[in-house]
Amino acid sequence: MEQSSDHNNKLIKKVDWFTILLYLALVVAGAITIYAATYNFEKAGSMFSFAEFSGKQFLWAGLSFVLGFSLLMIDRSIYEAYAYPIYGIMILLLIITIFIAPNVNGSRSWIVMGPISLQSAEFAKFATALALARLMSTYGFALNSKKNYAVALGIIFLPILCIILQRETGSALVYTSLIFVLYREGMSGFILFAALCAITYFVVVLKFATTLILGIPLGTFMVLTIILLLTLAIIIVYCKSARMTRDVLIIYLACSIISGLILWLGVNLNGYVILFSTIGITLLYLIYSLLHENLKHVVITISYMVASIIFVFMVDFAFNNVLQPHQQTRIKVTLGIEEDAHGAGYNVNQSKIAIGSGGLTGKGFLGGTQTKLKYVPEQHTDFIFCTIGEEQGFIGASAVILLFLTLILRIIKIAERQHTAFGRVYAYCVASYLIFHLSINIGMVIGLCPVIGIPLPFFSYGGSSLWGFTFLLFILLKIDAERGAYGVW
């Protein structure tokens, strides 16, 4: 009994209370904002009434506090030892959800148990983080072999596949944020660069698909030109010979001048012929030159160029045949390709009006007209940030973002002070999830990202999201509190 008391006293001293205070501040502010978002002047109820969404959220919050501190009582070694079984159970739960969940707006992601509905994808986040941390803390593990890459990516993409089968694309995309964890643990920056290029190419090709230049869609022409220039940049980086760098640039410049002269003389050539001729001549010289330098560099450069070109010509096919019609519409509206102020763009349009009307200081608590008149659908869930912007203005919205950034930076600090790979990897998983949710949710509310149903952590109404992030955060706090048992404090 005395030993248990000593353990609890040590835990109280070692736990990161600053992070807990940030968590409490965000949860309480979230519940109050839900009350503001759903307030009805005609039938005004108490903020704590279970008839109100805010009252239910306060109940979820109270249970979350109990859950969080219960997680602190569990020995850290349990999380590490049972990481794989926990992951396996959650994957099984995701699979079961596909078959037993009711169809809600085309999605089968909610398990209904009487008056309670739980989204299994939210709880799979901490399980995936634990499994990835367990794998990467294995003795001798390093991201320098195809096998290790395959296993790590398998852990990440298995829940993604299950959630996509639930037709819940937004929740599935959250797991892709774990690529930043792999980068922190030694993944080549070239892979991250390639992912960024793929997103950029996708957006540019779609955005400028209707305008033609030299018989090519402007978007495709721009991207192919970017690919060529990036390839030249890679050559310059890899070339150890100043002469070779000079020769490649001269060849590219000469090809460009010749192409310009051909067009000026009025020769009717398709733009693809000109572009691929320039790429082909430059590539041939590249192969010839680099074969005398480093075969690995030749393979990397050619692979980047070929994969990029193939990706560009697959964008249109993927957009029209893989994405669902409502997803296509949302992307088109976000990119400004289509105007649909009364359809797919209605939510975002009303949200931007609400945030803009808040001005610098906002309209005050419960003073938001857009909010009170229910112009913004789902304003207590995915679009709750517009309530903050309208009632608290730029200052209040900035304060909320600053609070989130403080929490994220604190988690990164916790990650870097860990003495084991398990603690460090798990902490970066938590930070990655938060960064993705914060960026995408606010991005879609202000029209920078397509609407994909990503909640704002601790603010959006719902017990599943709140409990999911409570699991993530308090398991991290327990791992951090006992880091001294695994190294020097």
pLDDT tens profile 329-359? 878 777 777 766 566 677 788 888 888 888 8
Q: Please tell me the distance from the alpha carbon of residue 136 to that of residue 185, in angstroms, as a whole number.
A: 8
Pairing of strands 116-119, 216-217: unpaired
Query: For residue 282, which of 336, 327, 227, 334 has the smallest C-alpha distance?
Result: 227
Count of helices and strands (H, E) across the chain: 20, 4
**pLDDT tens, position by position, 415-470:** 999 989 999 999 999 999 999 999 999 998 888 888 888 899 999 998 889 999 99
Is pLDDT of 235 > 80? no
The predicted model scores a pTM of 0.86
Q: What is the pLDDT of residue 395?
A: 93
Q: Which residue has the tokens 């100043």?
A: 242
Sign of CA dihedral 141, 143, 147, 153: positive
Is pLDDT of 489 > 50? no
3-state SS class at 133: helix
Q: Please tell me the distance from the alpha carbon of residue 269 to that of residue 12, in angstroms, as a whole number.
A: 75
Whether the Cβ atoms of residue 107 and residue 167 lie closer than 8 Å to each other: yes
Whether the Cβ atoms of residue 358 and residue 390 lie closer than 8 Å to each other: yes
* Amino acid in position 276: F
Q: What is the pLDDT of residue 328?
A: 79
Average pLDDT over residues 394-400: 94
**pLDDT tens, position by position, 11-38:** 677 888 999 999 999 999 999 999 988 8
% residues pLDDT > 70 (the chain) = 80
| Average pLDDT over the chain, rounded to an integer | 82
Q: Please tell me the distance from the alpha carbon of residue 8 to that of residue 177, in angstroms, as a whole number.
A: 35
3-state SS class at 118: strand
* DSSP 3-state percent helix, strand, coil across the chain (nearest 5): 70, 5, 25
Is pLDDT of 10 > 80? no
User: Per-domain residue ranges for the chain?
Assistant: 12-194+337-486, 210-324
Selected residue with higher pLDDT from 265 and 67: 67
CA atoms within 13 A of residue 251's CA, in its CB half-sphere: 21
Q: What is the pLDDT of residue 488?
A: 41
Is pLDDT of 107 > 60? yes
Is pLDDT of 68 > 50? yes
Q: What is the pLDDT of residue 424?
A: 95
% residues pLDDT > 90 (the chain) = 34
